[in-house]
Chains A and B, each alone.
Chain A
Amino acid sequence: MSQTSDLDRVAMIVLRYMRRPLFALLFVYSIGIMGMALMPGQVVDGETTYMNLFHAFYFFTYTATTTGFGELPNGFSDEQRLWTIFCLYTGVIAWFYALGSLIGLVQNPHFIQALDRFRFARKVDRNREPFVILCGFGDTGSLLARGLSDHRKRAVILDFDPERIKALGVRDYTVAMPGLHADASAPKHLMAAGVDHPACLAMVALTNDDDANLKIAVMARHLNPRLPVICRSTSARHEANLRALDNVTVVDPFEIFAQLLYWAIARPELHNLNAWFVGAPGVKLGAPVQIPRGNWILCGYGRMGRWIHRYLKAHGIDVRIIDPEMHASEAGEGTVTVQARADHSALVTAGIDDAAGVVAATNRDSDNLSTLLSVTELNPEAFRIVRQNSHENQVAFDAARADLVLQHSLTTARRILKLLISPLVQELIDWLAEREPAQTKELVARLQAAVGEEPPHLWSVRLIPGEAPALTEYLDAGGAVALGTLCRDARAFPEGLPCEALAVRRAGQSIMLPDKDFQLGIGDELLFCSVHRVESMLQATLHNPYTLRYIVTGVDEPRGYVFAWLEDRRRRRSEHKG
């Protein structure tokens, strides 16, 4: 539907642009050809010859395009030569006019855009691989696209800014990522991006404008009610609106940032596990950042500062706030506030000497970096957490050697990636966050034993005939398999494979950290954490009925009819004797 309308638009622009040049060509050609046919040619045997219409057309074609073969098919008379001169000038001018118009058309921005849209819609429509629609290609969007590309997942990208879409063309993604510069909140562009395409997995609204995100989410809801939508939102009003829609997940970058920061301060083991799961560079499992307890200084009380304050206060961490524009009453009773920029004197006033750490969380990177310098000078012992706003300033933040750098575009992109690739992982982290730290520590110890020093590989398997034929067949036949049994190593029966089942999703319910006796059922989705090698071992068990039987019973059953028959006979005979 949208495809034809785009094609129609392209055709219409071409026709409108080329109408006059085409008419000019037609006119000049007709005059030239007719004139040539009427001009008396050379006299042969006392009779004047005339050029026939086909030869006149042939002559005009090579003359008007300035090819000029000469006087063909016969030598011309002087009258014909006169007419040739006329034909040459008019024909060449008409051709140049037509060519110029064509070049103008190709450069016309409307035409280029219409053509881009048409090509984009066609590309999306022909795509058969599952993909995600990404609206907004800023810092977060490009990080998310990179993450999706690392997982070999496709994305279709819409952004308002043509420069960003141009930049998309020069990235080295592992999969095709078609992009279009268009207003993502317009339904026709969402349709072109494949919002109702059967292979569309989800839509992510990531623009900087909350209104636009809300609009995109609402449009997507109406166009395809089954499509999961992940929507970025930073204001409470929009969030309330979005939560009213089902199938929409709201992601607030400031809240995610504050949550991570709180985990880093109060739940280091959980922060460490989370960072290890998402594959943050330089993170070692079981070696969380050691953060001192005590009073914290928060520099910056904007939207992010408020979230951080709320999180830290709710968990009993004392915070002093430095911000030039806040009122003392805003932060609530009993909070020390300093109304100034976070420079030397303000830090001293806030009591930097006995502070456990500082969070530099303003929305200006230069301010945050200068605060870091002051803190290093005043209290080198203080733990320094800094917010990085722009991805471009990476080198400066690396050089600043803060104890912890949190970049909200990166944390948001990672959170959304987790929601898209393995939602169970996020559920697990949230589940652990609500429980005692001891439980996280126990899981970390188990994972350390299973995975060791290698980076983690998370994968999920659904127990359906397409993904686990041997196991579903076995369960269908009335067999029972426990989780611990499935994880046995067929090479070293009855040892277990070094892998941990993190979660099971059954009929819409999630069961976290299932134990070894958990009985598997058809349709369960299992989330495993281990290394790549183990996944292929487990896949072999799930696909090969003999391997599965072997790990369940420990007996290698006969495969061919002959040996099955022999085995049967042997067993019957021994029963007979017994």
Chain B
Amino acid sequence: MNLERIAFGFFIILTLSLNYAFVAGGLETPAHHNIWILTLTIIVNLVAIGLKLGDRSQTGALLLASGLVAGLLLITARVVWIVAESGGAGGPGPREMADIVSIATGALVANIVAAVILVGDTLLSRR
């Protein structure tokens, strides 16, 4: 057992779970999506990226890349939310909401890829 692996696995899987929690629900319904969950996802994702910095192995590089993709998309979704909020009264409308959720769904794919790599690498090295 390795503390680094536990920490990294925790953050990767937590990102995935939070990301799904944010995305789940109607695409255009603002009531189904919580801004706090999105913000938390970004923070957890950034921690996971930080933990992977400095790893020189191939899987490490791939995990870092997928983390960066997820981070980029999640931050984009957050920025769209901010812009939509400032524009009108009381939060994003259905159109903006659809944009935000679809971008976050893209981030979900990157997070799934990262989780699959993590699990696959662990199973292949079998120790």
Tell which of A41-49, A240-248, A540-548 binds the partner: A540-548
Which A-chain residue is minimally distant from B3 (CB atoms)? A563
| Interface SS of chain B | helix
Tell which of A54-62, A280-288, A552-560 binds the partner: A552-560
Tell which of B21-29, B53-61, B103-111 binds the partner: B53-61
Interface mask (A472-492 → B, CB under 8 Å = 1, otherwise 0): 000000000000000000111
Known contacts A546-B56, A547-B125; 10 further A-B pairs (Cβ under 8 A): A491-B125, A493-B127, A546-B57, A556-B2, A556-B4, A559-B55, A560-B53, A562-B50, A563-B51, A564-B54
Which residues from chain B contact A561 at a C-beta distance below 8 Å? 53-54
Query: Within the assembled complex, what's the spacing in Å between the Cα atoms of A546 and B4?
Result: 13
For the complex formed, measure the closest distance between the CB of B46 and the CB atoms of chain A, giving whole angstroms.
12
State whether A562 and B53 are in contact (beta carbons under 8 Å apart), knowing that A544-B58, A556-B2 are contacts in the complex: yes
State whether A545 and B57 are in contact (beta carbons under 8 Å apart), knowing that A490-B127, A492-B127, A560-B52 are contacts in the complex: yes
Query: Within the assembled complex, what's the spacing in Å between the Cα atoms of A563 and B125?
Result: 21
* Across the A-B interface, the 9 shortest Cβ-Cβ residue pairs: A561-B54, A559-B55, A563-B4, A491-B126, A560-B54, A560-B51, A491-B127, A556-B2, A561-B53
Which residues from chain A contact B51 at a C-beta distance below 8 Å? 560, 562-563
Can you give 24 A-B contacts (C-beta < 8 A)? A490-B127, A491-B126, A492-B127, A545-B56, A546-B56, A556-B2, A559-B4, A559-B55, A559-B57, A559-B60, A560-B4, A560-B50, A560-B51, A560-B53, A560-B55, A561-B53, A561-B54, A562-B50, A562-B51, A562-B53, A562-B54, A563-B3, A563-B51, A564-B54
For the complex formed, measure the closest distance between the CB of A567 and the CB atoms of chain B, giving whole angstroms.
9
Query: Within the assembled complex, what's the spacing in Å between the Cα atoms of A556 and B55?
Result: 13
Query: Within the assembled complex, what's the spacing in Å between the Cα atoms of A543 and B126?
Result: 17
Which residues from chain A contact B3 at a C-beta distance below 8 Å? 563
Question: Interface residues of A, CB < 8 Å — how many?
Answer: 17
Which residues from chain A contact B54 at a C-beta distance below 8 Å? 559-562, 564
How many pairs of A and B residues are in contact by the CB < 8 Å rule?
A: 45
Which A-chain residue is minimally distant from B64 (CB atoms)? A560
Question: Interface residues of B, CB < 8 Å — how many?
Answer: 18
- Residues of B29-52 at the interface with A, using a CB-CB cut-off of 8 Å, are 50-52
Which residues from chain A contact B8 at a C-beta distance below 8 Å? 560
For the complex formed, measure the closest distance between the CB of A473 and the CB atoms of chain B, giving whole angstroms.
9
- Residues of A186-217 at the interface with B, using a CB-CB cut-off of 8 Å, are none
Which residues from chain A contact B2 at a C-beta distance below 8 Å? 556
For the complex formed, measure the closest distance between the CB of B102 and the CB atoms of chain A, giving whole angstroms.
31
Which residues from chain A contact B126 at a C-beta distance below 8 Å? 491
- Residues of B1-28 at the interface with A, using a CB-CB cut-off of 8 Å, are 2-4, 7-8
For the complex formed, measure the closest distance between the CB of A533 and the CB atoms of chain B, giving whole angstroms.
12
Which residues from chain B contact A491 at a C-beta distance below 8 Å? 125-127
Interface mask (A559-574 → B, CB under 8 Å = 1, otherwise 0): 1111110000000000
- Residues of A210-243 at the interface with B, using a CB-CB cut-off of 8 Å, are none
Q: Are A544 and B57 in contact (CB-based, < 8 A)?
A: yes
Most buried by B among A547, A558, A562: A562
Q: Are A490 and B55 in contact (CB-based, < 8 A)?
A: no
Which residues from chain A contact B57 at a C-beta distance below 8 Å? 544-547, 559
For the complex formed, measure the closest distance between the CB of A551 and the CB atoms of chain B, giving whole angstroms.
11
Query: Within the assembled complex, what's the spacing in Å between the Cα atoms of A562 and B51?
Result: 6
Which residues from chain A contact B55 at a C-beta distance below 8 Å? 559-560
Query: Within the assembled complex, what's the spacing in Å between the Cα atoms of A493 and B127?
Result: 9
Interface mask (A41-80 → B, CB under 8 Å = 1, otherwise 0): 0000000000000000000000000000000000000000
Most buried by B among A543, A547, A559: A559
Query: Within the assembled complex, what's the spacing in Å between the Cα atoms of A148 and B92?
Result: 67
Query: Within the assembled complex, what's the spacing in Å between the Cα atoms of A563 and B2?
Result: 11
Query: Within the assembled complex, what's the spacing in Å between the Cα atoms of A78 and B50?
Result: 95
- Residues of A508-564 at the interface with B, using a CB-CB cut-off of 8 Å, are 543-547, 556, 558-564
Query: Within the assembled complex, what's the spacing in Å between the Cα atoms of A95 and B45?
Result: 77
Query: Within the assembled complex, what's the spacing in Å between the Cα atoms of A359 and B8?
Result: 70
Interface mask (B76-118 → A, CB under 8 Å = 1, otherwise 0): 0000000000000000000000000000000000000000000
Query: Within the assembled complex, what's the spacing in Å between the Cα atoms of A563 and B4?
Result: 7
Which B-chain residue is minimally distant from A562 (CB atoms)? B51
Which residues from chain B contact A559 at a C-beta distance below 8 Å? 4, 52, 54-57, 60
Which residues from chain B contact A544 at a C-beta distance below 8 Å? 57-58
Which residues from chain B contact A546 at a C-beta distance below 8 Å? 56-57
Query: Within the assembled complex, what's the spacing in Å between the Cα atoms of A560 and B3?
Result: 12
Which residues from chain A contact B52 at a C-beta distance below 8 Å? 559-560
For the complex formed, measure the closest distance between the CB of B84 and the CB atoms of chain A, giving whole angstroms.
35
Query: Within the assembled complex, what's the spacing in Å between the Cα atoms of A490 and B122?
Result: 12
For the complex formed, measure the closest distance between the CB of B114 and the CB atoms of chain A, giving whole angstroms.
14
Which residues from chain A contact B127 at a C-beta distance below 8 Å? 490-493
For the complex formed, measure the closest distance between the CB of A535 and the CB atoms of chain B, giving whole angstroms.
15
- Residues of A373-402 at the interface with B, using a CB-CB cut-off of 8 Å, are none
State whether A490 and B53 are in contact (beta carbons under 8 Å apart), knowing that A543-B58, A544-B58, A559-B4 are contacts in the complex: no
Which residues from chain A contact B58 at a C-beta distance below 8 Å? 543-544
Which residues from chain B contact A558 at a C-beta distance below 8 Å? 4
Query: Within the assembled complex, what's the spacing in Å between the Cα atoms of A493 and B126?
Result: 11
Which A-chain residue is minimally distant from B1 (CB atoms)? A556
Q: Are A490 and B4 in contact (CB-based, < 8 A)?
A: no
Query: Within the assembled complex, what's the spacing in Å between the Cα atoms of A67 and B36?
Result: 79
Query: Within the assembled complex, what's the spacing in Å between the Cα atoms of A562 and B7?
Result: 11
Query: Within the assembled complex, what's the spacing in Å between the Cα atoms of A558 and B57?
Result: 12
For the complex formed, measure the closest distance between the CB of A460 and the CB atoms of chain B, giving whole angstroms.
23
Which residues from chain B contact A490 at a C-beta distance below 8 Å? 125, 127
